[in-house]
Structure 1
Amino acid sequence: MREIAGSPRILLKRLRELMAEAVEPQERLDRIVREIAANMVAEVCSLYVLRADAVLELYATEGLNPGSVHLAQLRLGQGLVGTIAASARPLNLSDARNHPAFTYLPETGEEIYNSFLGVPVLRAGRTLGVLVVQNKTNRQYGDDEAEALETTAMVIAEMIATGDLRRLTRPGMELDLSRPVSLTGAGFNEGVGLGHVVLHEPRIVVTELFNEDVDLELKRLETALGSLRLSIDDMLSRREVAFEGEHRAVLEAYRMFAHDRGWVRRLEEAIRNGLTAEAAVEKVQSDMRARMLHMTDPYLRERMNDFDDLAYRLLRQLMGRGPEEIAASLPKDAIIVARSMGAAELLDYPRGKLRGLVLEEGAVTSHVVIVGKAMGIPVVGQAKGAVSMAENGDALIVDGDDGKVHLRPQSDVEAAYAEKVRFRAKKQQLYRELRDRPSVSKDGIAVELMMNAGLAVDLPQLAEAGAAGIGLFRSELQFMVAATFPRAQEQEKLYREVIEAAGPKPVTFRTIDIGGDKVLPYFRGAEKEENPALGWRAIRLTLDRPGLLRTQFRALLKAAAGRELRVMLPMVTEIGEITKARGLIEREVRQLARFGYALPTSLKLGAMIEVPSLLFQLPELMRAVDFVSIGSNDLFQFMTATDRGNGLLAGRFDPLSVPFLRVLKSVLDAGRDAGKSVTLCGELASRPISAMALVGLGFRAISMSPAAIGPVKAMLADLPVGELEGLMIQLLKESAVDMDVPARLRAFADEFDISCET
C-alpha cells in the first residue's frame, strides 16, 4: 500500500533516519521538531523538557522565536504546557488563547497561534516533558495527528532516558530523570545499604522502535499474546494454585486482561502507526499508567499494577528474555526494588551481592520481609513510587533504621551515609572480636546468647555471630518459600543440615507455625478469618491436621539420630494440646524403632508461652514439658490486646513495663521451682537495653537475631549483674503508675558505663 505524505508512518520513517545520523543532540532535536511541523502541516512545533527543579524548559522549536530556546520556562502546572505535564494528559484546543490555563510568554512570540495540540512525553508512566504543535487558524487536530504526536513523544522519551540530552543541560539545571529523590516508607529490617538499583521486574529497554513490516509485527504480537495467555492458563491449572482465594483471583484477573480487546486494539493501532510490537507495548502501557496514576479509586489503581505486570510479561515473550538473565547480570552491590515479590524470588538472588531490598508494598510480616531479615539485609517497605522513579543502575541508599530511601542521592547525603556505614562496620568489627569470647558479665555471670534462624541461609551466621546455639529454629519458613508442602525427605535434609552446622551446640526446633499472618497460598482448608492472630494457627492447626505434624516429627527424629532433639510447640493454650502432641511424636518414635531407624539419644519436648492462659497453668505446664520458652512478641501482643502490625499502635505500650516484667518474672520463678529451664526469644532479647532487663530479672539464656548478639555481648561484658538484680527487684515492687523503666535502666547503664548501643 502506498504511503500518504504526512502519515504517521512517513514521520516515523524520517525520525528513524534522524536517530541513526551522527549529529549533536541539539541539532537532532531541531531537525525532529522541523520534521514534525512539516509532516503535520503545523506552523509551530516545540519540545519542553522537565528539569529536576520542576520547571519545563524549551529545548527546541520550529516556528517560535529561536532565541527563546533554553530561556523560555514554565513551572509544573503553569500554562497549557505545565498543565499537560502535571496531568499527563494531552490537550487539543482550537482556541488556545482563551483557555483558562493559557500563559503568555513574550519571548516566544506564540500569541498569534490559536490551535494547540500538546502531548506529554512519557516513559513508564512518568512525565519527562511536553511536545506541542500549533497553528494560526482555528482548527481541531484529528485523532490520527494526536496519535502521531504521542508516538513521536515516545521516541523523544527514549532520547531523554538514554542521556542524550544531558549534554545540553546547564550547571544546576539537571533533567528530572536525574533528580535526587527521597522516599519515606517503613523500616522492616534495620541496617543501611549503599548500592545500585536492580528492578525486580526491570523495564526492558526497547532498542528497535520503528517497524519495517506492519504485518510481520502484528503477527509477532499475536504470537506473543497467544503464548502469554497459555502461560497464564498453565499457572491457573497447576495443582499448587488454590481453587479459591486471592492468589487465584489475581491470575483470573490477568487472564481477563490478556483477552481485553480494547488493550489489544490499542497495541495493534500503535503498530500500524509504525512502531515495533515491543515499542507498541511500551507506549500503550506508559499512556495507560500515566492516566491511571491520577485516579483516586483504589480498585482501579490496583488494576494498574496488574496491567504493568501483564505488559512486562508480554515484553518478555516478544524479546525472548528469561528471568535467569537478571541474576546473571547483577551488580556486586545490588539493591532490589520491587512493587512486591515472593519470598522464593528473593532467594533466587545471590546473597553475596545483595545490599538491601525496597518494596512499594508489603508489611513487616510479609513472607519476603521475613526472608530479607533472615538474609540480614536492610528492608524498607511502603516506599510508594520507588519503581517508577528508579532506573536500573541508579545509585540508591536504603535506610532500614529510619525507613528512608534515597534515590540518586546528592554527594553530601551519600557521604553522610557512607560514614554511617563505616561506623557500623567498625562496631561490627569490635563485635566480631568478641565472637569467641564467653558471654559472661562483669561479675562472672554466664548468659547463653542464642540465635533465631529459619532457613539454610541463616546457618553461616551461627559461627559468624558467635551464638551459643539456635534457640529458635522457625521451621515454617521452609514451607513459606516453597510452592507446595515440602516432602518429608526435603524437611529431613534441611533439619540435618541445621544440626550438622550447629555441631555440639544445641538447636531448638519449633514445629510449623503457619496460619494467622503466615498464609501458604497452596494450603487449602483455612477459611478467611476476621482475627487471624487469634484464629486457626500453629499447634491448633497442626493438631487438626495431624498428618502435617507427624510428617515433621518423623523428619526431625530421623535427622537428629544420635543427637539430642529439642522440639518446641507454638501457641499452646492448654495442657491437653501438649499431651496430644507428645502422643503423636511418641507414636513416630515407636514406628521408626520398629523399622530399625536410628533415633535421637534423648528427646526434649517444650512449649512456647505466648497465650496468657498458660500463665494461670504454670505448675501444670512445668510438669508437662521438659523446658519452656517465652515468645515475647506474641505474649506482649495478647497481654495488651495490641495488633503488633498496626502502625497506629506501634510504640503505644512498652514491653519494658512493670506489669509485663512481673509476668516474665513469674514464669522464671515457676521454672526454677520445677527445675525446668526458661528461655526467651523475640525482639525483646535483640536490644541491649531490654536484654539487660531480662538478665536482671534472672534469664540466663535468651535467643535473638544474629546481628544482635555482638551488641548484647558487649553490653553484658560491662554489666554488674548483682547490682542490676537489686534494681530490678526494687522496680517490680514499686507502683506501675507512671513508672519509666527504660529511663531507669538507661540511668543505670550511664552510672556503670555500660554500652547499650546497637
Structure 2
Amino acid sequence: MIVPGAGGPRALLRRLREVMAGAGPAQQRLNQVVRNIAANMVAEVCSIYLLRAGNVLELFATEGLNPESVHKARLKVGEGLVGTIADTATPLSLPDAQSHPKFAYLPETGEEIYHSLVGVPIIRAGRVVGVLVVQNRTMREYDEDEIDAMQTIAMVLAELVGQGELVDPGEFREAELRRREPYIYDGVGLAEGLALGVAVLHEPRVAVDSLIAEDPVVELNRLAEAMSGLRRRIDDMLDDQEVSTGEHRDVLEAYRMFAHDRGWREKIEEAIKSGLTAEAAVERVQMETRARMGSITDPYLRERLSDLEDLANRLMRHLAGKTETAAGDELPEEAILIARSMGPAELLDYDRTRLKAVVLEEGSQTSHVAIVARGLGIPLVGGCERVLERVDPGDVVIADGDTGQVIFRPTQEVAAAFAENLRIRVEQRAEYAALRDVPAETRDGVPIKLYMNAGLMVDLPHLVETGADGIGLFRTELQFMVSSTMPRLAAQIELYANVLASAGDRPVIFRTLDVGGDKVLPYLGAAREENPALGWRAIRLVLDRPALLRYQLRALLIAAAGRTLHVMFPMVADVAEFRQARQILEVERRRLDRLGRPLPEAIRVGTMLEVPALAYQLPALLPLVDFISIGSNDLLQFFFAADRGNPKVSGRYDILAPAALKLLKGINDACTQANVPVSLCGEMAGRPLEAMTLIGLGFRSISMNAVSIGPVKAMLRGLNVGDFRAYIDRLIDGPDRTLRGKIESFARDHGVRI
C-alpha cells in the first residue's frame, strides 16, 4: 500500500514522472524509479523486468534483490510467475508465491526469503513490454487498491520503456523479417463472402500523452463533457435509417445501456481523483476491465468486454476532440479491417463502399459485430489469434468468410489463383441467381422443397433473392442473445409479425427458444455444467421455466393472427416432453380465445428430431405431430458420440457413413408411411454432395443457409433420382466406413454438379 505520509498516489506519480524526465542515463533513472516505488509502498522489493528479443524477460532494475542479478536473471515469457504475468497480460497477487505451481526459483536474485508477491504487466500500445513486481518477506494479501496503484505506475513506466533507451529496437529486427513472410490463418467464418484488399489496422485508441493531472476538477469536467458527446453520438446512430429496425437496433440499444452505466463512469472518476488525467483514467479502467474479464470464455460476457473496449476507445476520441469516425478519411478503395475485437458501433463508422472485409482476433457467430456484419453483407473472419502481431498497414490480405481462412502477404501465384477463384465465384453466383425462379426439381421431374434457415430480420431479403420455398428453421433465440435483458412480450410479437410479413405466403417454421449449452443467457442464471451439450438446455430449460415458453408461445400466437403458425420444439428426447410443450401451447391458445384476441388461422406443431432416443419412439410420436424436422448437426454428433466442434474427434466419423444414412433413411421412411411431413435442416442439407445423398434416401424437403440454395438447386437439376436411389440402396448395407468416395464417383460419372 502507498504510505500515506509520503504524499499519496498523486505525489508518487509526480515523483516518478520527474525522475523519468530528468537527466542522466535511462538505466540510472530506472534504478531511481524502483527505489521510489519501494520507498512509497510497504514493500521490501521492487523489480522491473523488460522484454528482450526471443520472448525473454530480463531483470533490468531492482530494489531489494541481489543487485548482481540485474541483466543476468532471465525468464522466458510463460516461465515462472513473472513470465506468466507477461504471457497473460494480467496482474497476479499471491500471499505465498513460492507455493504457486508456476514459481521458478532464480538463485542469483536471493528472492527465496520473500513470500508474498504482486506483479502487473507493463503495457505499451496494447503490447506487453515488461513486468513490474513488488515482494514482501511476510505472507500478506495485497488489496485491490494496491494492485490498482501498481497498474497506474506501470502505465507511467511504459513511457520510459517506449523511449527505446533501455532496449535497442534493433534486437527485434530478425523476428520482424520473419514476420513479413506470407502467413495463413485458419479462423472461423462469421459472415460469408470473399475479399482481396489491403490491411487497415483498427486502432481507434488515442495515445495518452499526459498521465498526471494538474487539476482533478478540470479533468472531471472534461470527462462529463466527453460522456455527453459519446451518448449523443450513439443516439445519432440509433436514428440512422439503415440500422433503425431489427437486430441492428437491439444490438445498439444494449450498447447504449453500457454508455449510461453509472459504475463504469464512477470508476473513471475515482481514477481521476487519484491523480490521473481523464484520458489516463479511461485507459486505466479499460486495462483493469480487460485484466478482470480477459480469461472469461463465456461468449456473452466476452461480448460485454468487447462493447466496453469499444466505448472506452470512443470516449478517448471525444476527450481528444477527435469525434470523427475511427476510419477517418483515408480508407483505401479495397480495405480489409484488422482488429483484436470490435463493437458494432465502430463497424458502422466505416465507409461501407470501401470496406471489403473484417478480420478479428476474437469474435463469435452471435457477437454483436458479426450480426451487424452479416446484415451489411461484409465478410468477417474471427478466431485469428494474435493477428495484429502478424500484419502491418498496407499488407495485401485475402479474407474468406465462407471457410474462415485469411492469407496475409500472399505470393503472386496465390493472389492470381485467388483472383481466378473470385471470378469463378462471381460467375457462379450470377448463375445461381438466374436459377431463382427455376423450379427446384430433379432431372427426372421429382420436385424438391428447398427451405432457408434464418434467425435475424436481415436474413429475410434472401427469401426473394434465392427463390427459397420458405423458412424451414427460424432460430428465435438470437433475439434473446443480442439483448442484455429478457425481450419483452411486445418486442417478441413485433419480431415474429415482421418475419411473417416479410415471408409473404411462404411458410415460416419458428423453433422455440433453444438456449443453454453454448448459448448462455446470463439473465437466466444458469449454472456451469460439466457437459452443457447434454445438459439443461432447449426444451428441458423452458419446461422447467414454463413462463419463458408461455410468453414466447403467446407472442407467436398473437403475431400469427389470421395466418398459419408453424411451431417446432427443440431437443425433445421423450414423447412426454412433446406432450407437455404442446399442452402449454394449447393453454395459451385458449387464454387468447377467452380474451377475444385474433388467433392464427391454423396451428401446425412439430418437433426437431435431434436426440437419437426419439427416433425409437416414432410410433408413439407421429400421431401427435404435424411435422418432423431432423436436426442433423446434433443428431449425428450424439449418434457418433463425437463433438463436431472438437477437431480432435470431429474427423473420426463421416456423416455419409452407412450407419448414419440408415438412421436418416429409417426416420424418413417412418414419417412418409405415417403421412407426416419430414424435412432435414443442418449443415449437411446445404452441401451439394450431402444434399444429393439425402434426396437419394427419399427426402423431398431440406432446409439450409441462404447461400447454399443456389448450389444445391444446380446439383439437383442434374440428378436422376431414380438411378441414384437404386445405386445407394445397394450400398447402404455394405461394409464401407463411408460412402463419400462412391457417391462422388456417381456424381462425376453422371454429370451431377457437387
Shorter-normalised TM-score: what interval? 0.5 to 0.7
**1:350-749 → structure 2 map (5 Å cutoff):** 355-361=356-362, 378-387=379-388, 396-400=397-401, 403-407=404-408, 413-524=414-525, 526-735=526-735, 738-749=736-747
The equivalences for 1:56-455 within 5 A come to: 83=52, 86-87=55-56, 91=60, 123-125=125-127, 151=159, 154=162, 179=180, 182-189=183-190, 191-195=193-197, 202-206=203-207, 209=209, 215-216=214-215, 220=219, 278=279, 316-320=314-318, 326=325, 335=336, 337-339=338-340, 355-361=356-362, 378-387=379-388, 396-400=397-401, 403-407=404-408, 413-455=414-456
Deviates more, 1:589-598 or 1:177-186: 177-186
Measure the CA separation in 2 of the matches of 1:611 and 1:147. Answer: 53
* C-alpha contact (below 8 Å) 1:185/1:404 kept by paired residues: yes
Would the aligned equivalents of 1:198 and 1:334 in 2 still touch at CA under 8 Å? yes
- TM-score (ref. length: structure 1): 0.66
Look up the SS of the partner of 1:675 in the other structure: coil
Query: Does structure 1 conserve the Cα–Cα contact (< 8 Å) formed by 2:204 and 2:313?
Result: no
Deviation (angstroms), 1:504: 1.2
- State the shift of 1:597 in Å: 2.1
SS at match of 1:508: strand
- Correspondence for 2:113: none
Alignment-derived partner of residue 40 in structure 1: 24
Classify the secondary structure of the residue corresponding to 2:650. coil
Whole-Å Cα distance in 2 between the matches of residues 652 and 663 of structure 1? 18
CA distance in 1, matches of 2:467, 2:674: 30
Task: Give the Å deviation of 1:174.
Answer: 13
CA distance in 1, matches of 2:360, 2:653: 28
Preserved CA contact (<8 Å) 2:450 2:468: yes
**1:754 is paired with a residue of what secondary structure?**
coil
CA distance in 2, matches of 1:599, 1:42: 78
Deviations 1:204-240 (A, max 9, x none): 233x7369x9624896389859999xx9xxxxxxxx9
Deviation of residue 344 (structure 1)?
A: 9.6
- Distance in 2, matches of 1:156 and 1:305, equals 35
Match of 1:236 in 2: none
Counterpart position of 1:69? none
Q: What is the TM-score with the length of structure 2 in the denominator?
A: 0.67
Measure, in 1, the Cα distance between the counterparts of 2:605 and 2:375.
Answer: 25
Shift of the 382–750 alpha-carbon distance from structure 1 to 2, 3 Å rule, reads same
Q: Return closer, same or farther for 1:82/1:488 CA change in 2, 3 Å cut-off.
A: closer
Task: Decide whether aligned partners of structure 1 residues 648 and 350 sit closer, same or farther in structure 2, where only a CA change above 3 A counts.
Answer: farther
CA distance, structure 2, for counterparts of residue 539 and residue 753 of structure 1: 44
1:443-464 per-position Cα deviation (integer Å, ceiling 9, x unaligned): 1111011110001010111111
Give the total of aligned pairs: 605
Q: Residue 215 of structure 1 aligns to a residue in which SS?
A: coil
| AA of the residue aligned to 1:596 | G
Q: Is the 8 A contact 1:187 1:399 kept in 2?
A: no
What amino acid sits opposite 1:684 in the alignment? M
- 1:195 and 1:397 in contact (8 A); partners too: yes
Distance in structure 1 (CA, Å) of the matches to 2:713 and 2:182: 38
Distance change in 2, residues 1:367/1:578 (3 Å) = farther
1:566·1:603 contact (CA, 8 Å) conserved in 2?
A: yes
- C-alpha distance in structure 1 between counterparts of 2:349 and 2:447, whole Å: 40
Cα distance, 1:319–1:338 mapped onto 2, change above 3 Å: closer
Measure, in 1, the Cα distance between the counterparts of 2:408 and 2:474. 36
How far did 1:382 drift?
2.9
| Inter-partner Cα distance in structure 2 for 1:41 and 1:255 | 40
Mark the runs of 5 or more structure 1 residues left unpaired by the alignment: 1-6, 13-35, 44-79, 102-119, 129-145, 166-171, 232-239, 241-247
Identity of aligned residues (%): 42
CA gap 1:340/1:690 in 2 versus in 1, 3 angstroms: same
Offset, 1:11: 9.6
Q: Retained in 1: the 8 A contact 2:268–2:281? A: no
Which amino acid in structure 1 is aligned with residue 616 of structure 2? F
Shift of 1:253: 13
Task: Tell me, in whole angstroms, the C-alpha distance in 2 between the residues paired with 1:256 and 1:282.
Answer: 14
Report Cα offsets for 1:87-109 as digits up to 9, x if no partner: 476857999999799xxxxxxxx
Change in CA separation of 1:674 and 1:175 when aligned onto 2, cut-off 3 Å: closer
- 1:255-306: CA deviation from partner (whole Å, max 9, x where unpaired): 9997999x998xx6xx8xxxx76479879999x99xx9xxxx989xxxx999
Determine the C-alpha separation between the residues in 2 that align with 1:685 and 1:308: 34
For residue 209 of structure 1, give the secondary structure of its aligned residue in structure 2.
coil
Q: Alpha carbon RMSD of aligned pairs, Å? A: 5.2
Q: Deviations over 1:464-522 (max 9, x none)?
A: 12211100011111111111111111111111111111111111111111111111122
For the residues of structure 2 that align with 1:148 and 1:493, how far apart are their CA atoms?
Answer: 52
Q: Distance in 1 between matches of 2:691 and 2:411?
A: 38
Cα distance in 2 between the residues matched to 1:385 and 1:544: 42
Displacement of 1:714: 0.6
Quick check: 746-755 or 347-356, which moved more?
347-356
Indicate the larger mover: 372-381 or 633-642. 372-381
Q: Distance in 2 between matches of 1:387 and 1:540?
A: 42
Q: Distance in 2 between matches of 1:586 and 1:325?
A: 54
Task: Choose 1 or 2 for highest CA Rg.
Answer: 1
Query: Using the alignment, how far apart are the partners of 2:650 and 2:199 within structure 1?
Result: 30
Match for 2:437: what amino acid? D
Query: What is the CA-CA distance between 1:193 and the residue it aligns to?
Result: 3.0
Q: 1:97 to 1:353 in 2, by over 3 A?
A: closer
SS of 1:719's equivalent in the other structure is coil
**CA offset digits 1:376-421 (Å, max 9, x no partner):** 6544333111245557786543234554333465666544433332
Deviations 1:296-328 (A, max 9, x none): x989xxxx9999998886665454369996588
Query: Whole-Å Cα distance in 2 between the matches of residues 551 and 588 of structure 1?
Result: 9
Letter in 1 for 2:559: A
**Partner SS, residue 491 of structure 2:** helix
